[in-house]
Amino acid sequence: MLRSRPYLHPGLNRAAGGRPFLLAVLLLPPLVLSGCSIKGMAINSVANALSGSGDDGGSNVYLTDDDPILVGQALPFSLKLMETILQETPEHEDLLVATATGFVSYAEMWVLRPSRYLEDTDYYAARAERMRAKKLFLRARDYAGRTLDLRYPGITERLKQSPDEAVLEFGEDDLPAVYWFMAALGRAISTDLGDAELLVQGRAVRELLEKALELDEAWNKGTLHEFVMALPVQLGGSPERAEEAYARAMELNEGKSVGPEVSLAESVYLVRQDRENFERILRQVLAFDPDQYPEYRLTNILAQQHAEWLLSKADELFWTTPANPLRIPTNKMRYPWPTHS
């Protein structure tokens, strides 16, 4: 039985949540009750708590949760709180990155992914949600971009003009900010491929990805390779590249995350119209015990929910079926290929 429907963005990590949000709420009174210098200290404490600075990751109440609906309902408050604190500490780099992380994850899981489920019943509502997701991705891009600009003044503008030269500035310590800038921009482009002005910035996504892989291809237990799997062809994606990335992603996450298996089903088997392997790997995902690795519980539950939805749509996604042996498209076969969204 589905617990809820959204699917988790592969890069979600502890920067987007955990006990810092509870700490922030507890720390809010000093912002109102104290003088300027204590107020400044309190604001910095809240900013550090929200961003997870110094957090050892031992208690992550978001990623270990088994109720995606509860998490999805909590995230908007957390994100607005982060934006409020950023008004007082606009140059807090860790908080800027954490805010970008949160907006990408929220847009992906609770806005963009559910919009796909609306397409058959309410196309206009689905499109409105896609455009909302695009705006949230662009907001996330701007927060991550502010971190990059603080470190390398003017770098985001140079990424638009000469991305191949701009990426030479970055080092391994920049990977979190680089990744979330790239992920946010890439997802915004993928969400609205008809936006020509945005699409030309795809050069920056490609260059940033190659630079990130060069700096540390194993970063965050395979997140970069999972990102490769979700690339549309306009950003350099292909079934062959996705298949290669899948093998490395699973190696790096040690088989603890089933997200790459769902991506393999959509990015490779669906594109190739290989229904046998499509159904095989998705059933394998559903058989996985999400409680086996608590630190991946939420991501795996969400992956399983999306796998179940994909299986339920198989007759529409694959043109050759017992009921349709001549491969004649029906009105429900609007997307017989992955939209990467």
Identify the pLDDT of residue 337: 35
Both structure tokens of 193: 């491929």
State the Cα torsion 224-230-234-238 to the nearest 10°: 90
Q: Is the per-residue pLDDT at 68 higher than 60?
A: yes
Q: What is the mean pLDDT of residues 274-280?
A: 98
> Out of 17-21, 213-217, 243-247, which region has the weakest mean confidence (pLDDT)?
17-21
Residue with tokens 């001549």: 326
- How do residues 157-181 score in pLDDT, each as one tens digit? 999 999 999 999 999 999 999 999 9
Query: pLDDT tens, 242-258?
Result: 999 999 999 999 999 99
**Distance in angstroms between the alpha carbons of the first and the last residue of the chain:** 23
Q: Which of 130, 107, 131, 104 is nearest to 119 (CA)?
A: 130
Cβ atoms 338, 232 nearer than 8 A = no
Cα separation of 191 and 133, whole Å? 8
pLDDT reading at 153 higher than 60? yes
Rounded Cα distance, 322 and 134, in Å: 38
321 falls in which pLDDT band (50, 70, 90)?
A: low
32 band by pLDDT with thresholds 50, 70 and 90: very low
The reported pLDDT for the residue numbered 44 is: 63
Q: Residue 120 has what pLDDT?
A: 86
Which pLDDT score, from 0 to 100, does residue 33 have?
40
Say yes or no to pLDDT of 336 above 90.
no
Taking the mean position of all CA atoms in its chain, how far away is CA 171? 22
Of 182 and 17, the one with more pLDDT: 182
Predicted local confidence at residue 60, as pLDDT: 73
pLDDT of residue 48: 65
Q: Cα separations (Å) of 187 from 99, 107, 205, 295?
A: 16, 9, 10, 25
pLDDT at position 51? 66
- Whole-number pLDDT of residue 323: 52
Q: Give residues with Cβ within 8 angstroms of 150, minimum separation 6.
A: 91, 93, 96
24 compared with 313, residue with greater pLDDT: 313
Residue 46 has pLDDT above 70, yes or no: no
pLDDT tens, residue by residue, 124-142:
999 999 999 999 999 999 9
pLDDT at 49: 60
- The pair of structure tokens assigned to 57 is 């990751």
Q: Which residues contact 329 (CB under 8 A, 6 or more apart)?
A: 319, 336
Tokens of 110: 């609770």
Residue 30's pLDDT band (boundaries 50, 70, 90)? very low
pLDDT band at residue 47 under the 50/70/90 scheme:
low
Q: What is the pLDDT of residue 152?
A: 98
pLDDT (average), residues 148-164: 98
Q: What is the DSSP letter of 52?
A: T
Average pLDDT over residues 295-323: 90
- pLDDT score recorded for residue 83: 97
**SS3 call for 324:** strand
Domains, the chain, in order of start with CATH, read 14-317 (1.25.40.920)
**pLDDT at residue number 267:** 97
Helices (H), the chain: 20-27, 29-33, 36-51, 68-88, 93-107, 113-118, 123-151, 155-161, 163-166, 175-191, 196-199, 202-216, 223-229, 239-252, 259-264, 275-286, 297-312, 314-317
Q: Are 24 and 16 in contact (CB under 8 A)?
A: no
Nearest to 143 by CA among 102, 192, 191: 102
Instruction: Give the model's pLDDT for residue 43.
Output: 54
Q: How confident is the model at residue 332 (pLDDT cuts 50, 70, 90)?
A: very low
Element holding 332 (H helix, E strand): none
Hey, is 201 helix, strand or coil? coil
CB 306 within 8 A of CB 262: yes
Q: For all residues of the chain together, what is the average pLDDT?
A: 84
Higher pLDDT, residue 51 or 117? 117
pLDDT at residue 319, rounded to an integer: 84
